[in-house]
Structure 1
Amino acid sequence: MKTVILGLALFLGAFVQPALAQKADVSGKFNQSLKSYYALKNALATDKPEEAPKLALALQSAVKEVPHKGFKDTRQHLLWMSESAVIQQKALELSKSNDLKSQRKSFEGISTAFIKLAKELKLNTQEAFVQYCPMGKFSWLNEVKEIQNPYYGSQMYDCGTVKDTLEKN
């Protein structure tokens, strides 16, 4: 009987361990892409249009690294596939521009998708803040509670409010 139980435990462990490793890999890679998002957000908030294209390409690359087969269910997988496609397309669009206005327009699509992913997937390992600018009616994620407006930069750097706090998971 002990042999059967031990055999069953080993058998089940062979399936559980890879699933846990996949979830950890998804979480780690998602958080890497979130760091790339923050770097791009910070460049736009500090009016650095010359940095934004390379940061957008780094974001696109980080998003591609997230293993789409590691999500816990089909709904999460489908959400990732649709929103990551938007992020990649908008990041590519942003990378082809040197104009802050058009870069910020592309960033709007990236932010909308990232907010949706962060809220639904709950993979962020650090607290994140959903911030909102009432002037432009734009939202974005921030790694700090203090407002750093990527849509208006130095014109209205601290214009906005914290709309939501996403606890670390």
Structure 2
Amino acid sequence: MKRSISFLLLVGMLASMLAACGAPQAQPTATPQPATQATAAPQPTAAPTTAPAAQVIKIATQSPLSGGQAALGTGMKNAAELAVQQLSGPLTELGFRVELAPFDDQARPEVGSANAKNIVSDQDILCVVGHLNSGVALAALPDYKNASLPMVSPANTNPNITEGGYEVAFRV
């Protein structure tokens, strides 16, 4: 339940930010102050308070970060990292800290499945970006499905990923 609400919040924030990117915003202009207006005296500052620790939202990636397909897998991880850096501002303002949790699936189904077990055990991980290889994704999807953890793949081509009864799987 926590994952569903937090994931919906994350998706809503990202969708809002993308929608805002389409329309140019007017820059506010400073209004000149008349020379006769007195300036206000500085107000005393309140005693510093300790801010509560930010809630963590983790986005996992699963791609080959070693081996012969490492260049492709590293590109996927870097793209997800860039998205987190560029789009997490509104979530940070709401008190969340967004982190990337990269996993090396080595382009091997057994490694991807083992990583999936670790990913679903971390309650701070709200979604997975990956996999590069459809075979690795199909090996990991039962774990994601059982945990209701969404997986968005920028690379999978096998239609069984989205048509095989895995309602948590999405292909871009």
Which bracket does the TM-score occupy, shorter chain normalised? 0.3 to 0.5
- Which structure would you say has the larger Rg? 2
- TM-score, normalised to structure 2, is 0.33
More strand by share: 2
More helix by share: 1
